[in-house]
């Protein structure tokens, strides 16, 4: 192994000139650490905790993929990340991986240390509040049974679930309820009434009520609270415990830390009845503080059933409750990020994604308050079939040149499509092994299946783009959706974040970013000095404000300022109430030049027409549709042309052959004619001097452009770019030494990469 490592270093780190050493394909050289990485997700099962059990999969990944970062997580029973034995094994794994030039980013989430947290802070576990109703009678005894739930997700599939631990009565009410909700004058608190008898256990809370004539036409609602084996999101010691876990791994050899799908325990339907709430004493205290002393238990009744004459209070309560979810989960994520940087240094990797159910909808509202845009990552990250408009927006937020989407499928062929579609939109796959695994398929087999065929050859071609990619996909439009409105089930546009608008634009060839209105509050969405609405590196030629109900004056202020600049403004939906649901005329506070539309269907053609009028050249339209998880969104094809913010033009083709199709074409880049003969990928950037500044290509045979003419005897994957001093630097993959004369004539500064051995 030592001789292999020395060879890899010789190949990659060649400061000047070349050494005529034939590449050894096993192990092959990996991308340098200053280049965006190739990422694979790895899960430590009981197999990996057996003596040397981690080596087989690591060997497979190292020898047959280009991965140089493994986002690693424990999926084994009785193995918490606070255990000394687990820390020791991870240190051993990190050292073994380093022999291959692979870095480990380790999942140190609290959910992998629940037993340790419970032992330290038994009163700070998460509760679920369940509201259930029955109709009362004139006589007799009625029984209401409220069952708890055994909750489970990918963190608990091989260990103890988020099981219920205790149950209790929180409160009980009696009332008359009609079409407009509860009749306030009829409301009675029966919590301590002699009419009510309660038996509480971890599996159910049973309430028995003695009925009488006065109860005719009334209802009983019991609020039962179940404590689960999960850390309370509002626990006062959560941040301290999280910091301790991360700090304890400083000498483990890992290079970063993962936090995957953080939030409350899972609710797979988003609770359409709105009669379950994530609750705790600490959350109730925080709610009272945020609302001037309101009682959260009482407001949960209001939020679930409504009350006649109190729609404003109901809407305001929902707004405050949901904003608490967003802010607290984002606070935990920010602290996680900052702690990782302090423990491992500014270059530490903070890996995996904040997205859980991969669509910005009702399930995510309940999980984390849809906090995705407030979760710090140096590498923008999503998962599964998250809409592309979110992937590109997160790239802008975190100034990430690329986005990574953790992708899996049971159908191995789906990866072949996703790898090219992602690259066309400025992204890469974070490779999750085949899942759900067919019966009898081991984790080792799942990785073998992933790495077989032409997928890794495609990935290695695409990774050449990483050398020259310095900015995300250019999206000329932003759709800014009302964050509070989308999450308020008593409002006018619940569970609607404007995907219909972004989809329409992507399908017309104009990629659009999806951004919540709360990014105005965080001052991330701004007006730049040239008068454009801006998000990170992205200037927008058009912005659509989507359902701004419940917004703050700061939003109107931003758009009033934008109206004086160069971004065209559009609106879908009214603005009739402020955040506390007080009646207002928000539309009057917006600029008169903001063009209103009654629907997404009406808005899209007008926006496209405006972009065409402005001379914005379309990119290849999105022709695929993501359909998993009962949602739909537009996705790019596997062949087409896109443009990055810095002007780089990207041509990709993996439609007929997963390892790349022939590209023999002529195209215009910034009004300069370019001709190319390559395979799979071509990316060209013209600099200020009206000459080629950067080029990446798979299987390049010939390239001709302003200031650069290359013709090679044999095809080769390569990238070449000018550094800050104007010196050409390059990377070549899979070729033999010495390099051909046309390349050595350009520069002596080359990085050499070998290809993984086919599996």
Examine the pLDDT at 21 and tell me if it is beyond 70.
no
How far is the C-alpha of 212 from the C-alpha of 210, rounded, in Å? 7
Examine the pLDDT at 450 and tell me if it is beyond 50.
yes
Q: Are 349 and 105 in contact (CB under 8 A)?
A: yes
Q: Are 210 and 137 in contact (CB under 8 A)?
A: no
pTM for the structure as a whole: 0.95
Per-residue model confidence (pLDDT) at position 29: 75
CA atoms 209, 214, 215, 218: torsion sign: negative
In the chain, where are the structural domains located?
37-113+327-467, 118-235+275-324, 477-618, 637-753
Convert the pLDDT of each residue in 572-617 to its tens digit.
999 999 999 999 999 999 999 999 999 999 999 999 999 999 999 9
**Tokens linked to 516:** 């919540």
Burial class (CB in 10 A: 0-12, 13-18, 19+), 166: middle
Average pLDDT over residues 408-426: 97
Convert the pLDDT of each residue in 678-729 to its tens digit.
999 999 999 999 999 999 999 999 999 999 999 999 999 999 999 999 999 9
Q: Are 384 and 293 in contact (CB under 8 A)?
A: no
Compute the mean pLDDT over every residue in the chain, rounded to the nearest whole number. 94
Examine the pLDDT at 160 and tell me if it is beyond 50.
yes
Task: Assign 660 a pLDDT band (cuts: 50, 70, 90).
Answer: very high
Convert the pLDDT of each residue in 469-511 to its tens digit.
999 999 999 999 999 999 999 999 999 999 999 999 999 999 9
The domains spanning 37-113+327-467 and 477-618 adopt the same CATH topology: no
Convert the pLDDT of each residue in 609-648 to its tens digit.
999 999 999 999 999 999 999 899 999 999 999 999 999 9
Q: Are 472 and 392 in contact (CB under 8 A)?
A: yes
**Tokens linked to 77:** 């029973």
Class of the CATH-defined domain 37-113+327-467: alpha beta
**Tokens linked to 377:** 């990552």
Per-residue model confidence (pLDDT) at position 440: 87
Task: Assign 15 a pLDDT band (cuts: 50, 70, 90).
Answer: very low
Task: Assign 9 a pLDDT band (cuts: 50, 70, 90).
Answer: very low
Q: What percent of the chain has pLDDT over 70?
A: 96
| Among the four given CATH numbers 3.30.930, 3.40.50, 1.20.1630, 1.25.40, the one describing domain 477-618 | 3.40.50
Numbers of helices and strands, H then E, in the chain: 21, 37
How far is the C-alpha of 514 from the C-alpha of 503, rounded, in Å? 10
How far is the C-alpha of 28 from the C-alpha of 94, rounded, in Å? 18
Convert the pLDDT of each residue in 367-415 to its tens digit.
999 999 999 999 999 999 999 999 999 999 999 999 999 999 999 999 9
Convert the pLDDT of each residue in 203-214 to its tens digit.
999 999 999 999
572-602 per-residue burial string, b: 16 or more CB within 10 A, e: under 16: bbbbbbbbebeebebbebbeeebeebeebee
Q: Coil, strand, or helix at residue 262?
A: coil
Convert the pLDDT of each residue in 108-134 to its tens digit.
999 999 999 999 999 999 999 999 999
**Tokens linked to 365:** 């509202």
Examine the pLDDT at 463 and tell me if it is beyond 80.
yes
Q: Are 430 and 408 in contact (CB under 8 A)?
A: no
Task: Assign 28 a pLDDT band (cuts: 50, 70, 90).
Answer: low
Average pLDDT over residues 430-452: 93
């Amino acid at each position: 192994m030592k001789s292999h490592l020395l060879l890899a270093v010789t190949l990659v780190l060649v400061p000047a000139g070349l050494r005529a050493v034939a590449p050894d394909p096993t192990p092959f050289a990996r991308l340098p650490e200053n280049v965006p990485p190739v990422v694979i997700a790895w899960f430590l099962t009981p197999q990996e905790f057996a003596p040397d059990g981690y080596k087989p999969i690591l060997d497979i990944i190292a020898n047959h993929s280009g991965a140089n970062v493994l986002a690693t997580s424990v999926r084994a029973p009785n193995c918490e990340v606070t255990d000394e034995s687990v820390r020791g094994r991870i240190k051993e794994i990190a050292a073994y991986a380093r022999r291959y030039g692979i870095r480990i980013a380790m999942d140190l989430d609290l959910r992998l240390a629940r037993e340790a947290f419970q032992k330290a802070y038994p009163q700070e576990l998460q509760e679920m509040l369940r509201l259930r109703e029955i109709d009362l009678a004139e006589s007799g005894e009625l029984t209401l049974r409220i069952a708890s739930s055994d909750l489970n997700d990918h963190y608990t599939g091989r260990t103890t679930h988020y099981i219920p631990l205790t149950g209790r009565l929180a409160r009980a009410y009696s009332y008359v309820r009609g079409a407009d909700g509860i009749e306030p004058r009829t409301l009675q608190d029966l919590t301590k009434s002699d009419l009510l008898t309660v038996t509480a256990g971890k599996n159910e809370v049973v309430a028995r009520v003695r009925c009488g004539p006065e109860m005719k036409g009334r209802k009983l609602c019991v609020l039962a609270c179940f404590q689960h084996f999960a850390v309370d999101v509002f626990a006062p010691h959560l941040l301290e415990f999280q910091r301790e876990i991360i700090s304890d791994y400083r000498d483990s050899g890992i290079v970063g830390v993962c936090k995957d799908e953080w939030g409350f325990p899972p609710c797979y339907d988003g609770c359409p009845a709105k009669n379950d709430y994530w609750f705790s004493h600490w959350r109730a205290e925080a709610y009272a503080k945020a609302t001037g002393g309101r009682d959260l238990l009482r407001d949960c009744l209001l939020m679930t059933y409504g009350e006649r004459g109190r729609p404003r209070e109901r809407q305001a309560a929902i707004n405050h409750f949901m904003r608490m979810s967003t802010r607290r989960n984002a606070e935990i994520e920010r602290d996680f990020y900052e702690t990782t940087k302090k423990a491992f240094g500014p270059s530490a990797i903070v890996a995996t994604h904040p997205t859980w159910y991969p669509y910005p909808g009702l399930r995510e509202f309940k999980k984390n308050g849809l906090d995705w845009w407030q979760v710090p990552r140096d590498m923008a990250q999503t998962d599964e079939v998250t809409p592309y408009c979110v992937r590109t927006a997160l790239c802008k937020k975190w100034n990430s040149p690329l986005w990574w989407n953790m992708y899996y499928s049971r159908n191995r062929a789906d990866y072949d499509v996703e790898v090219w579609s992602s690259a066309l939109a400025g992204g890469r796959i974070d490779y999750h092994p085949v899942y759900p695994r067919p019966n009898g398929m081991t984790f080792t087999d799942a990785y073998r299946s992933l790495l077989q065929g032409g997928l890794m050859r495609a990935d290695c071609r695409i990774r050449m783009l990483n050398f020259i990619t310095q900015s995300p996909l250019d999206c000329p439009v932003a759709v800014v959706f009302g964050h509070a409105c989308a999450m308020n089930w008593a409002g006018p546009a619940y569970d609607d974040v404007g995907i219909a608008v972004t989809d329409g634009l992507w399908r017309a060839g104009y990629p659009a970013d999806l951004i919540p209105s709360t990014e105005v509050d965080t001052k991330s969405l701004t007006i730049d000095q040239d008068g454009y609405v801006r998000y990170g590196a992205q200037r927008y030629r058009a912005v659509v404000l989507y359902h701004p109900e419940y917004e703050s004056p700061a939003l109107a202020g931003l758009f009033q300022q934008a109206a004086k600049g160069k971004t065209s403004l559009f609106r879908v939906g009214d603005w009739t109430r402020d955040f506390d649901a007080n009646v207002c005329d928000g539309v009057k506070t917006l600029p008169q030049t903001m063009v209103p539309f009654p629907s997404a269907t009406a808005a899209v053609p007008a926006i496209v027409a405006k972009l065409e009028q402005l001379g914005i050249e379309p990119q290849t339209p999105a022709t695929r549709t993501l359909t998993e998880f009962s949602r739909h969104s537009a996705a790019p094809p596997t062949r087409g042309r896109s443009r990055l913010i810095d002007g780089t033009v990207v041509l990709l083709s993996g439609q007929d052959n997963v390892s790349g199709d022939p590209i023999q074409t002529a195209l215009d880049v910034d009004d300069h004619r370019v001709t190319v003969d390559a395979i799979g990928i071509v990316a060209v950037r013209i600099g200020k001097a009206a000459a080629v500044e950067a080029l990446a290509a798979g299987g390049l045979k010939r390239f001709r452009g302003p200031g650069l003419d290359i013709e090679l005897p044999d095809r080769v994957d390569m990238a070449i770019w000018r550094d800050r001093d104007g010196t050409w630097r390059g990377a070549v993959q899979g070729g033999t030494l010495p390099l051909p004369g046309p390349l050595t004539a350009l520069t002596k500064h080359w990085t050499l990469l070998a290809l993984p051995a086919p599996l």
